[in-house]
Amino acid sequence: MVERHIVIVGGGFTGTALAIHLARLGSAGLTVTVIEPRHQLGQGVAYGTDDPAHRINVPAARMQLSAAQEGEFDQWYRASAACAQDPAARWHDGKIYPQRGQFGAYVAEQFAQAARTSAVSLRHVQDRAVALRHHAIVTASGAVFQADEVVLAISHPPPALPQILQRWLAGEHGQNHAAERTGDAGSASPAALIANPWQKNALAAVGADDRIAIIGSGLTMSDVVASLHRQGHRGQIVAFSRRGQLPRDNVSGDYPARPLDYQRPQAATALGWLRRVRQEVARAAEDGVPWQLVLDDIRLNGQRIWQQLPVAEQRRFLRHLRPWWDVHRYRIAPQVSEILNQSQASGRLHVLAARLTAVRSAEQGIQLTLQPRRGVRAAWPEWSEQPGLHVDKLIVTTGPAHGALLNSDALLHQLAEAGEIQADPLALGILVNAHSQAVNQHGFANPHLHVVGPAARGRFGELMGLPQVAEHAETLAYQLLGKTPHPQKSSTDVLKTIPLE
């Protein structure tokens, strides 16, 4: 029996899913160690929240560890006590949107079950990896784990403070250290600034009648507004971003899939795909089909589409189209959407297309200066003094600082300093080859160092949504074990190549 040890660094959904697949596919002699400081696996940034207002953004039936388990989480949740205790999880169309922590609990249970039943030795080490030396992972406690393969499953760094806020902190409050640059300055920031709303009890200091400004208008902003609503906040809220776009709703009701014809010649450009999507959405509307079905099929085939775009076109997409893709691709739970709609209708929530141009401390709060987006008519709240905005609290919801990933973690920093890993050309994560192997500073891939999940999306494209992350983890598990995946029918099967114009 050949002994082999795979060490996975990071035990959020990505790392835990990979460990589960390795346990299911592997055999005796294989040891899989997940190094994760949290006490429970499967609870990263997204699924570690215990706030009842935070719900998964798609129906439970679309959350799974593999295509073979489609619908299993939905069944698991409906049979659980948590479902009976949360009637609001069931939407009007019968679809279930559980509290986000429930999916984390499900993944942790799947890990525990795999550990009990698999011939593979599966374990969780509650520690933090800080270095990789001579094929061994070193942890913060000083433990050393010799590894045949190491997989980096570190995906989401802390939020980054916008530069204008960093300068404000440095100028008025004398704070100028690395923590602020990576967004960890929340505890050291003025009481009026909430730099990281994902920190536990980050919103506890918000008064019921406080006026709030929120930088960002995406999913994190939506979660913040839902949390404030749950805790009884009655004050005014202004959310602003460069484009002032809110996440779109999921489709209500059941519709058959609407696959696109990928054999149709297609220009491999961002503009070409924009035109194609608009055409497909228009055709779907003529047939009475919601636009969401078109975007869902594009997402399913997103990795191959992305990899056929030249780097210049990928950059063009990120610069011009990504914000629009994000609000249509990363949709919102209907329960949270209802809160946003009600808050806007009552005049309590205003969403502006504007950017922050100045900030200074003011008596009992912060004074902001906003510049509205040119050509966009902004509905400013009556109590503001345009372009000024005096608020009691400023909350940053601009999301993880993926561009600073390599400096956000001790292990990644050490590997980058040693030249073992490097950022991808698009600054989305870590540079990898087609086999998810990390590429060093000299351009050579390391067959013993892999990257799984969102940190590899610069290469693969669509790797933020859970189904694609789960698929990537399963594919890497087969690859690490030298096995061939079982063929599965999916819309990606038709997209072997896209004929180019």
Tell me if 263 is assigned to some domain.
no
Q: Give the residue-averaged pLDDT of 96-101.
A: 94
pLDDT digits (tens, 9 = 90+) for 175-210: 554 444 444 444 445 889 998 888 888 899 899 999
Residue 475: which residues within 8 A CB-CB, separation 6 or more?
Answer: 485
Minimal CA–CA distance to 255: which of 464, 74, 70, 95?
95
CATH (domain of 69): 3.50.50.60
User: 489 falls in which pLDDT band (50, 70, 90)?
Assistant: very low
489, two tokens: 């029918």
User: CA-based Rg of the chain, rounded to a whole angstrom?
Assistant: 23
pLDDT digits (tens, 9 = 90+) for 204-235: 989 999 999 999 999 999 999 999 999 999 99
Give the chain's domain count. 2
Domain that holds residue 478: 4-158+401-494
In this structure, the number of other CB atoms found within 10 A of the CB of residue 500 comes to 11
User: Given this model, what pLDDT does residue 186 score?
Assistant: 41
Residues 224 and 343 placed together within one structural domain of the fold: yes
Residues 61 and 134 placed together within one structural domain of the fold: yes
Mean pLDDT of all residues belonging to the chain: 89
Better-predicted residue by pLDDT, 347 or 491: 347
Residues 211 and 224 placed together within one structural domain of the fold: yes
Tell me if 112 is assigned to some domain.
yes
pTM of the model: 0.89
Q: How distant is the alpha carbon of residue 482 from its chain centre?
A: 29
Q: Which residue has the tokens 């008519």?
A: 377
pLDDT digits (tens, 9 = 90+) for 378-421: 677 878 777 889 999 999 998 777 778 898 899 999 999 999 99
Does residue 468 contact residue 303 with C-beta atoms inside 8 Å? Answer: yes
pLDDT digits (tens, 9 = 90+) for 151-164: 999 987 877 888 89
Minimal CA–CA distance to 298: which of 333, 260, 250?
260
Percent of the chain with pLDDT over 90: 71
User: 487 falls in which pLDDT band (50, 70, 90)?
Assistant: low
User: Given this model, what pLDDT does residue 472 score?
Assistant: 94
For residue 488, pLDDT beyond 80: no
User: 1 falls in which pLDDT band (50, 70, 90)?
Assistant: low
User: Given this model, what pLDDT does residue 172 score?
Assistant: 67
